[in-house]
Structure 1
Amino acid sequence: MADKATLEFNGQKIEFPLIKGTEDEIGIDIKSLRSATGGAITIDPGFKNTGACESGITYLDGEQGILRYRGYAIEELAEKADFLEVAYLLIYGDLPNQEQLDKFNADITSHAVVDDDVKKILDAFPKSAHPMGVLSSLTSALTAFNPSSVDASSKEAMYNSTVRILGKFPVLVAWTMRKKQGLPLDYGDTSLGYVENLLKMMFKKPNEEYVHNPIIVNALDKLLILHADHEQNCSTSTVRIVGSSYAGLFASLSAGISALWGPLHGGANQAVIEMLEGIMADGGDTKKYMAKAKDKNDPFRLMGFGHRVYKNFDPRARIIKSAADEVLNDLGIEDPILEIAKGLEKEALRDEYFVERRLYPNVDFYSGIIYRAMGIPIEMFTVMFAMGRLPGWIAQWKEMRHRKEPIGRPRQIYIGENYRAFKSISERS
C-alpha cells in the first residue's frame, strides 16, 4: 500500500502522508493542507471522517462489533475485572498488580470526603434541578476546593487529581440523587468496595440498615465497566478540547458532563424507557410499533437500536442483556417493560428491514431496564453514565496533556454577509 495520498487541487498534485494505527486503521495527515493550498480547509460536519488525535486507550471496530480497552476485550474485562481495576487500566495503560491496586484503592478512599461548603452549594439548588446540571456544577465547584487540580506539571500532580476525583465523584453522584429525593446526605462506608459504597450512599434510608445484594453490586460493576470509555465521542472530545486550553481536570470533566447531558448522547437509555412505557400504555403491541418504525412517514423512532459507530451488534448490549436477566430473576421482578423490550428485540432480529440496515439493540436498550430494576430514578440514568465514564475521561485528558496536543481550534467556512458600510440609525429602514 502507498504511504501517501494525493490531492489534485487547482491543477497541482499535493501529497499528504498516511498514518497507520496498530489495528491497520488509515488516516491522511492533512496538517499541511492550508499552507499547501493557499488556505483551503476540509469541511466535515459532525466529524464523521475526521480524527482529532492519535490515542492508545480504546479500540473500536464498528463493523466487527469489537471494543477493547488498552488491548483487552470488553467481554473479558466485564467478566473478570472490577471497576477500579478497569479505571487503573484505562488511566495508566496496564492492569494493576495487587500492590498497585491496594494503593490505588486506599488513595481513592482517603479522598472520599467532600468539603462541607460543597453541601451548601448543593443546598442552593432547587429540588426540581436536573441531576446532570447539579453534578456538572458540583464537579466544577470542586476546583475551588482543590486548586491543585489544575496542575498537570508532573505525574504526581496528575495522580493526586485522579484519586481525588475518583474518591469524591461517587459522593457527588449519591448526593445528587438524595437531594432529588429529599433524603439526608450520606458518606456511606469506605470499608466497603467502591461500587458497594456507591450503592449504600445512594439507597440507605435513615434509621434502616442497608443490606447489599451481590447480584446488584455485580450488575452495576459491569455497567460502569461497559460505560468506562468509548473512544472519541461527544463528551470525551469535549473533555479533550477543553483540556487542550490547559483547563484543569475537574473543569474539563464538568464540561464533559454537560456534553453528556444532551439527549443525543447520554440520554438515550432514558429515551428507551420512555418509549417502552409509551408502547405499554398503548397496549404493548410490539408488531404495531415495529411497523411504525419502518414507516418513513411516521415520526415514531425506535430508541435503543442501531449505533452511529457500530454497524454490527454492540458487544456491550449482549453483556448488559445477560445482567438484566440475572437482576430481574434475582429480584423476582416481572416487569412488563422487559417483556416489551424482549419482544422488540425478537422482532427486530428477524425482520429483514432491521437486519439489512444492521439496526441491532445497543447498550442503551438494556441499561435503562437494569437501572429501573435497581430503583434508580429515570432522571438519574445519565448521571450513572457519567459515573461509569469518569475513568475514560480522566485517561483521555491525561493522554492529551502528556502528548502536549495543541489547543483545539476548528476552522469554518464563512457564509455570512460581505462587507457592509455602517449606517446611522436615521438611515436604517
Structure 2
Amino acid sequence: MGRPTPSSSHNSLTVRDNRTGKSLEIAIEDNSIPATAFKSLTATPEKGEREENETNKGLRVSDKGFLNTAVIRSQITYIDGEAGVLRYRGYPIEELAVHSSHLETAYLLIYGSLPTSSQLKVWQSEVMHHGVVHADAEQFFRSFRYDAHPMAILTSAFAYLGSYYSEANPSLQGQSLFTKGSTESLAVMDKQIYRLIGKATTLAAMAYRVRQGRSFVTPPTGLSYTGSFLYQMDHIGEENYKPNPVLEKALDVLFLLHADHELNASATTVLQTGSSLVDPYSAIAAGCASLYGPLHGGANEAVIRMLISIGSPGNVPTFIEAVKKREKVLSGFGHRVYKTSDPRSFIVRKTADEVFKVTGKDELLETAMALHEAAMKDEYFIKRKLAPNVDFCGLIYRAMGFPLDFFPVLFAVPRVVGWLAHWRQMMLQPGGVKIWRPRQIYVGASKREYVPVGERALVEGPPKTPSQILHSG
C-alpha cells in the first residue's frame, strides 16, 4: 500500500506532482487509497519557503473535520446519506426496529450476527445481572451539586466505574490485555461489555434521582432492559409497580435506533482514546463527554429549547425568516451524513404516535409540525438539503416526562453499545492497535529569538490577550 504499482493495474490512481514532474501510481482498494502514499511525493523547498512546510518530507493530506478520511476498516454500520440508508451489520434499521429489541441488536452490533434464542437468553441474563453497582456509588453521586447537569454526572460516573475493576486496566495487566484475542482475553473483554451495558441504565437512573433528591433504586429482576431503567427512575415504593408497557417498548425502539451511527464524533472519540490502550471505562467516559455537545448528543435538547422559544405555530414564519438571516439557529434539521431524510425519523414519528396515545400530545407538536412543513416547502432549506432528522425524538422524551437536560443521557445510554462494538473491533483488528496521531499543518511563527520582558513590544486586543474578568465579593 502506498508504493507505485504496475501501470497495467486498472484499479489504481495516477498522481502527477507538477512541482517535480514525478508520477505516482497508487492502488485502489475498496474504493480508497492510503494517505501515506503521498509521503513519497517529496520536493525541494522553493526559495524563501517556510521550513515548517516540511516539503522535503512528503505531501500531507489536509482534511479539516474528517470530511473524507477513513481511519479504520469496519464491518459494523453502513450509512448511505444520499439514499437515506442505515444498516446494522447489513440489516436495515427499519426491519430491526420492527422485529428486534435493543439488547438483541446490541448482540448483533458487537458480535456480528443475530443471536439464537439460547444465545440471546444468556446475553440478556449477563447484561441484566451486571446492572447492580457498588454501594459506594451512592456517596459518589451524592457528591454532585443538586443542579449538576446529568451528562456531567454520567460522564464522571463511567470513569469512576473503571476504578473498581483493576483486571480491566491494561496499565496494570499489560498492554496486550484486550488485543491478544485469546480465550482468556476475550472473556475479560466480554465481562467489561456486560458491565458497561448493564450499568449504563443504573448510572443514568442514579443521575436522574440525585437531581430529584430521591433515594436510589436497586435494579429489579424480571424486567426488560428499558423496563428496568424506567423502574429505577420512577419507582417510589408502590406495590407491584411496573412501567407502562407502551412507554417501555417505545424507549426500547428509540434505544435501538440510537445504538450506533458509524464513526460519528463520540464513536471516533472512543476509538481515539482507546487507541492508547486505556481501559474501556475511560474510553466510554471520553465518548460520553463528546456526546454531551450541542452539535451531537445535545441536539435533541436543543430542538426542544428551539421549539419552546418559537412558541406557537403562528410564530414559525417569523422564525424561518430569522434563520435565513442567520439571526436564529435551526436545530433538528440537516445532518452531517444524511442529505435526504434520516431513515430513523420515520420510525420516530410512528413511535411518537403510540406514545401520545398514552401521554397525550405534547403541546409543542403542532409547532414542530408547522416548522417541518414550512421548512420542507422553502427553497432555502430544499437547496441546502436540510431535511428533518432524528433529534425530534425529544418530543417523545418530553411527553414521557423526562427533564429537558436528561435528553442527552437517553442518547448516551444506548450509544454505549455502538461505542463498545467499535472499541472491540479495533482491539481485535489484524495487525494490532496503532495509536491515533493525526498530522497538522503548522502556520504559526517561524523560529523566534527570546525577548527579555522589559524589551517586548505591546500586543493587545482580542483574541491575542486574556479577557479581563470582573470579580465580585
Aligned equivalents of 1:131 and 1:97: distance in 2? 36
Aligned to 1:191: 222
Q: Residue 334 of structure 1: CA displacement?
A: 3.2
Which of 205, 218, 241 is the matching residue for 2:272? 241
Does the CA contact (< 8 Å) of 1:65 and 1:313 recur in 2?
A: yes
Which of 79, 104, 127 is the matching residue for 2:98? 79
Does the CA contact (< 8 Å) of 1:148 and 1:161 recur in 2?
A: no
Aligned equivalents of 1:321 and 1:100: distance in 2? 32
Structure 1 residues 208 and 376: alpha-carbon distance in aligned structure 2, compared to 1, 3 A threshold: farther
Aligned equivalents of 1:81 and 1:405: distance in 2? 32
Does the CA contact (< 8 Å) of 2:313 and 2:371 recur in 1?
A: no
Does the CA contact (< 8 Å) of 1:59 and 1:71 recur in 2?
A: yes
Does the CA contact (< 8 Å) of 2:307 and 2:367 recur in 1?
A: yes
Which of 22, 27, 30 is the matching residue for 2:32? 27
Q: Residue 199 of structure 1: CA displacement?
A: 0.7
Counterpart secondary structure, 2:94: helix
Does the CA contact (< 8 Å) of 2:362 and 2:398 recur in 1?
A: no
Does the CA contact (< 8 Å) of 1:4 and 1:17 recur in 2?
A: yes
The aligned runs of 1:19-418 (5 Å cut-off) are 19-20=29-30, 26-37=31-42, 38-150=57-169, 151-152=177-178, 153=180, 154-207=185-238, 210-280=241-311, 284-293=314-323, 295=324, 297-331=325-359, 333-365=360-392, 367-403=393-429, 404-418=432-446
Counterpart secondary structure, 1:67: strand
TM-score (normalizing by structure 2): 0.85
Q: Residue 69 of structure 1: CA displacement?
A: 0.2
Does structure 1 residue 16 correspond to structure 2 residue 11?
A: no
The percentage of counterpart residues that share the same residue type is: 41
More helix as a share of residues: 1
Q: Residue 394 of structure 1: CA displacement?
A: 0.2
How many residues get paired?
419
Letter in 2 for 1:308: R
Q: CA RMSD in A?
A: 1.7
Output one character per residue of 1:314-334: Cα deviation in whole Å (capped at 9) or x when no partner.
000000011112111222x13
Moved over 6 A (4+): none
Does the CA contact (< 8 Å) of 1:16 and 1:30 recur in 2?
A: no
Letter in 2 for 1:362: N
Structure 1 residues 105 and 414: alpha-carbon distance in aligned structure 2, compared to 1, 3 A threshold: same
Aligned equivalents of 1:212 and 1:261: distance in 2? 27
Aligned equivalents of 1:209 and 1:373: distance in 2? 24
Stretch deviating more after TM superposition (2-11 or 78-87)? 2-11
Does the CA contact (< 8 Å) of 2:297 and 2:408 recur in 1?
A: yes
Q: Residue 269 of structure 1: CA displacement?
A: 0.6
Q: Residue 221 of structure 1: CA displacement?
A: 0.6
Output one character per residue of 1:294-338: Cα deviation in whole Å (capped at 9) or x when no partner.
x2x34112210111110111000000011112111222x132201
Counterpart secondary structure, 2:346: helix
Q: Residue 207 of structure 1: CA displacement?
A: 4.9
Aligned to 2:12: 4
Letter in 1 for 2:33: I
TM-score (normalizing by structure 1): 0.94
Aligned to 2:469: none
Counterpart secondary structure, 2:226: helix
Letter in 1 for 2:353: D
Q: Residue 385 of structure 1: CA displacement?
A: 0.3
* Bigger Rg, which one: 2
Counterpart secondary structure, 2:35: coil
Q: Residue 350 of structure 1: CA displacement?
A: 2.9
Aligned equivalents of 1:361 and 1:422: distance in 2? 54
Q: Residue 215 of structure 1: CA displacement?
A: 1.1
Q: Residue 50 of structure 1: CA displacement?
A: 0.9
Letter in 2 for 1:48: L
Does the CA contact (< 8 Å) of 1:368 and 1:381 recur in 2?
A: yes
Aligned to 1:422: 450
Does the CA contact (< 8 Å) of 2:22 and 2:41 recur in 1?
A: no
Q: Residue 208 of structure 1: CA displacement?
A: 6.3
Question: For structure 1, which runs of at least 5 residues remain unmatched after alignment?
Answer: 21-25
Aligned to 1:23: none
Counterpart secondary structure, 1:46: coil
